[in-house]
Structure 1
Amino acid sequence: MSTLASNPLLLIIAATSAIIYILLLFNFAGRSQATSKTLEKIFIGLIIFAIAGVTLTGFDKIHPRALYLQGKKLYSTIFQIGIYATFIFIIYSRFLQNIKNSVFVISRLLINNVYFCGLLFLLILSAAWSETPTYTLKASIVFLGTTAFCVYVGKQYKWKELFDLLLTINKIILLLSVFYALFRPSIGVTSKGWQGILPHGNAFGFLMGLTAVMCYIQSVRKPKTKWQSLGFAALSIFALQRSNSGMGKVLLVLLISVLIVIRFIKNLPPRLAFACIIFFMAIAMCLCIVITQNAEFIIVDTLNKDLTLTGRTDFWPLVINHIKQHPLLGYGYQGFWQSWRGAADPAADIIVVKTQFKPEHSHNGFLDLAVDLGFVGLGFFCLSFLTNIALAVQYMKRTQEPELVMPLLLITWAVMTNITETGLISITYAWLFYVIATVRLCLDATGKSSQENSSA
């Protein structure tokens, strides 16, 4: 990059070549709907890779979060926005066609899950009471833009295509992670275990648990490739084991339990099915909390993992004390954990005394949601979550397809991973899954698949 910058001739040649390729792709996409759809899926996959936190060179440059980070240079911002604009330009005709019914999609969200919309509205308003209003507003705009991308993905594809798209992405992450762990351990392995091409072993373990379950479902969906799918499932479980993520193992058990629960409640009356799912979710959350609170025995002795959760339980009470200071509306989106402010950082006093560890977030998505948007924001999310459960039950009653498990699977994964990690309203895989499930369920609740769907 520095060579290009120092040599104007090479820079001109590179820029010209890039423009030619972009125009060629634009031409091909305009001539063929199949090509346009394929390119759209590739671009969506690249953005999802970035949102998942893939650490390979370049993906950090297109992660939406980078747009509001402190110290972001103007030329870097322009370059990143330019990448997004290029993607849209190449598939412009398809993109334009598929955003025509945006009003319809928004109306479905407002009608079928108004609490989700209320959460987003509160988030953008939070700049009004943030100590750093400009930063909060910028972060909110980026977050809403990313949410709009997730909405587009959710409304663009039905569950069958969403399943195939997400599973393909997860398989690529799995294979690349195994490669780097085995042949480039300096990148894919830490002292705690495998992390692959993701930023942390827990994130890797969580995703491998989901991938294993999705591969099993794939073996049911497509019997012709049953053994291949089961092979990927086995490889995912092996990678999960190597990650040494105790909570990842617990999550795998919970996701398998979701499949069993769905088989049990499939033929129950809707209200009873809803009650059973809520009861299961409550038990699952309590299980995760019990494991967290009894980490020394359960995680070290039973799961054979290094003890890391006790530090979290040490500083969670400190976070709760700060929530009590701004209980209703919080500190504003991204307005609390601001280490770049030094002594003015609202979280400056949150530190684990025994180890002097200073966290960058709560390691709990619900606490981070409450500290950012208060109990009002947390209430909106909880009501949105309950609404999604009710819509998922309705969806299960209307279909016999293997993909009927996907809404509950994604919602469970998004919520349970936030017991010991964060990402409930951050630009992460958890939020991506939650928004996709929300949008798809709201559209499916209409009893029709909106003409906008590209798969039609």
Structure 2
Amino acid sequence: MTELSHTFETARGTIGPLERVLSAIPAIVLFYVILLNPLLTEGATVGSAENNIAAAEPNRLNQLFWLGLFGLTLFSAGNRIFVIFDRLKNPAVLFIAAYLVLAFASVTWSPVPGIALRRILLQTIFVLVLAIPILVSRDTGRVISGLLAVLALAVWINVIAVIIVPPSPIGHVGLYAQKNALGATMAGAFLFMMFGFFTRRGAMRWVYLATAFAALALVVMSQSKTSLALGIAAPAAAFGLIAISRGLNIGLTGLFLFSAVFGLACWFFFSQAAQFAFSDLSMLLFDDETFTGRTTIWAFSLEAIERSPVLGHGYASFWATGTDSSVFREAPGFVASLLQSHSGYLDVLIETGAVGFSLLVLLLVFTLTQIARLARHMPGLAWLCLTILIFAMVHNSMESSWFRGFSFLWLQFLLAALLPASQRPAKPDFAAGRP
């Protein structure tokens, strides 16, 4: 690929103060997700039964923040808020909306309707405060600049935290409760910093490059193997796919799907020929045969799916719902203290069944197709979005983030789905070094 640049339609005329506020809202969301919220929840004990019970209770401060930000989003959008209805024609936006509608409907069959309704309301607000600024703003480049600034700040704050705070026995945690959170956050920051390096001009591109190396160093220091592997493999795979697609003039969507099927077929034949089982891969990666206990979690999750395979148990109605939940009563051993199944795909099946899973698959497919269209004229942005898509799809095989709270990976995926659906490209602001 000869360039990694992107362009956005910018406002014709002067950007007003409300539009500037609207453009800053995704950066505010990101600041809360990766910097402020971890500090507010610092005292949580990961994996304890008490934390599981506490997670079922409402967080008033959290609710006030999201409600206030939602109000600010609507106010700053003004009359442009109605543009959002036109954006619903975009398939990726449509399937995000469809899943949220299904989640609202699932309150009627949820065993904990009060908890489910509270969580789907907050999830909808979270999606909207990201979607509205991206889809209706006339200055999407400013949105991206704000996100890059917050991520760079997060990297250097975590550098200071790692210097000051001694590591845990299994790796540095930075500002977060566990090492995997630091690893996943810094891996995402690394992707965006590299994007900033390739798309900006002048001194700032070298600041982004230095920050990218710092982020990668933090991933290594966290000893989060999954984040490190994906942080290197996902951008390389996205770069290769786009380069081959553009060089050979073949469709990126077809190339992606062919590569995925071919890779799975190669793994199958290799595992059969070399007698290399799934448990052997777990031993190689985690020094045990259960993917650090995940096989036990997955077995329990599959049993839960069998009870309600079509519509599921209800959105956010299975994990972290208190002492009356089937998880607390029936889950074996440590599983009773967990807040997720450590698989985003299993959690979607548990919560919204085969219907919700189908909507997720369609969302992923149409996100891929619009990234493919973007790659024809904006390869840099397409590279970032495709990297995030690959990272999220693989990461959700081991962790859970699809339509889940306001995790950083879910936020990144929403950006990958919404940015290609936003305003059409025009003049190359970033290539000129403008914010």
Q: Shorter-chain TM-score category? A: 0.7 to 0.9
Taking structure 1 as the reference length, the TM-score comes to 0.75
**1:316-355 deviation digits (Å, cap 9, x = unpaired):** 111111101100000000111145134x434532234xx6
> Which residue identity is paired with 2:311?
L
Total equivalences in the alignment: 394
- In the TM superposition, residue 134 of structure 1 has moved relative to its aligned partner by 2.4
Q: Which residue of 2 aligns with 1:348?
A: 329
Find 2:32's aligned residue among 47, 50, 57.
Answer: 50
Give the whole-Å Cα distance in 2 for the aligned partners of 1:82 and 1:333. Answer: 20
- State the Cα distance separating 1:178 from its structure 2 match: 1.2
The answer as to whether partners of 2:195 and 2:384 remain within 8 angstroms in 1 is: no
- Is contact 2:388–2:412 with CA below 8 Å preserved after alignment? yes
Q: What letter matches 2:291 in structure 1?
A: L
Picking from 127, 145, 154, the partner of 2:125 is: 145
Q: Distance in 2 between matches of 1:285 and 1:126?
A: 34
Name the counterpart of 2:160. Answer: 179
The CA distance in 1 between the partners of 2:262 and 2:401, in whole Å, is 22
Alignment of 1:296-445 (within 5 A): 296-300=282-286, 309-342=291-324, 344-346=325-327, 348-352=329-333, 358-399=337-378, 402-427=380-405, 428-443=407-422
Distance 2:321 2:156 in 1: 35
**Partners of 1:69 and 1:360 in 2: CA distance:** 8
Aligned-partner Cα distance in 1 for 2:198–2:61: 45
Is the alpha carbon distance of 1:151 and 1:125 closer, same or farther for their aligned partners in structure 2, counting shifts above 3 Å? same
CA contact (8 A) 2:111 2:317 kept: yes
Is the Cα contact below 8 Å between 2:29 and 2:130 reproduced in 1?
no
Matches within 5 A, 1:238-277: 238-255=217-234, 256-269=236-249, 272-277=251-256
In structure 2, the CA distance between the partners of 1:56 and 1:130, relative to structure 1 (3 Å rule), is: closer
Secondary structure of 1:379's aligned partner: helix
2: CA distance, partners of 1:406 / 1:98: 27
Match of 1:341, SS?
Answer: coil
Q: 1:261 to 1:442 in 2, by over 3 A?
A: same
Q: Which residue is equivalent to 2:195?
A: 217
Amino acid corresponding to residue 408 of structure 1 in structure 2 = L
Structure 1 residues not aligned, in runs of 5+: 1-31, 61-67, 450-454
CA contact (8 A) 2:55 2:320 kept: no
Deviations 1:241-288 (A, max 9, x none): 100001012112322222222212124445x4212112344577898x
Q: Is the 8 A contact 2:116 2:317 kept in 1?
A: yes
Greater radius of gyration (CA): 1
How many angstroms does 1:360 deviate by?
2.0
Aligned: 1:84 with 2:69: yes
C-alpha separation between the residues in 2 aligned to 1:267 and 1:408?
17
Letter in 2 for 1:145: I
Q: CA RMSD in A?
A: 3.6
Letter in 1 for 2:345: F
**Residue in structure 2 matched with residue 117 of structure 1 by the alignment:** 97
- Cα distance in 2 for partners of 1:147, 1:220 equals 28
- Deviation, structure 1 residue 144: 1.2
- Residues 153 and 199 of structure 1: CA distance in aligned 2, closer, same or farther (over 3 Å): farther
Does residue 129 of structure 1 match 2:109? yes
Establish whether residue 231 from structure 1 lines up as the match of residue 217 from structure 2.
no
Matched-pair contact (CA < 8 Å) for 1:415–1:430 = no
Alpha carbons of 1:157 and 1:179: their partners in 2 closer, same or farther (altered >3 Å)?
A: farther
Does structure 1 conserve the Cα–Cα contact (< 8 Å) formed by 2:152 and 2:208? no
Structure 2 length-normalised TM: 0.78
Q: In the alignment, residue 31 of structure 2 is paired with which amino acid?
A: F
Aligned partners of 1:154 and 1:282: how far apart in 2?
33
Checking the alignment, whether the CA contact within 8 Å between 2:237 and 2:387 is kept in structure 1 is no
- Residue 54 of structure 1: how far off its partner (Å): 4.6
1:12 maps to none
Separation (CA, whole Å) in 2 of partners of 1:169 and 1:259: 25
Match status 1:72 vs 2:39: no
Which deviates further from its counterpart, 153-162 or 313-322? 153-162
Once residues 261 and 59 of structure 1 are traced to their aligned partners in structure 2, the CA distance between those partners, rounded to angstroms, is 39
Quickly say closer, same or farther: Cα 1:181–1:37, change in 2 above 3 A: farther
> Over residues 394-423 of structure 1, what are the superposed CA-to-partner deviations in whole Å (9 max), with x where a residue is unaligned?
1111335x3231221222232222121111
Whole-Å separation in 1 of the counterparts to 2:262 and 2:217: 27
In 1: Cα distance, 2:277 partner to 2:386 partner: 23
Match of 1:3 in 2: none
Deviations 1:114-148 (A, max 9, x none): 43332222111111111122221222122112111
Deviation, structure 1 residue 162: 4.4
Residues 319 and 350, structure 1, Cα contact 8 Å, conserved in 2: no
Return the alpha-carbon distance in structure 2 between the equivalents of residues 241 and 368 of structure 1.
28
Check whether the contact 1:160–1:403 (CA below 8 A) recurs between aligned residues. Answer: no
2:185 match: 207
Q: Percent identity?
A: 15
Relative to structure 1, the CA distance from residue 128 to residue 250 in structure 2 (aligned partners, 3 Å threshold; closer, same or farther) is: same
> With CA pairs under 8 Å and 6+ residues apart, which has the higher RCO, 1 or 2?
2
Q: Which amino acid aligns with 2:364?
A: F
- Return closer, same or farther for 1:292/1:201 CA change in 2, 3 Å cut-off: farther
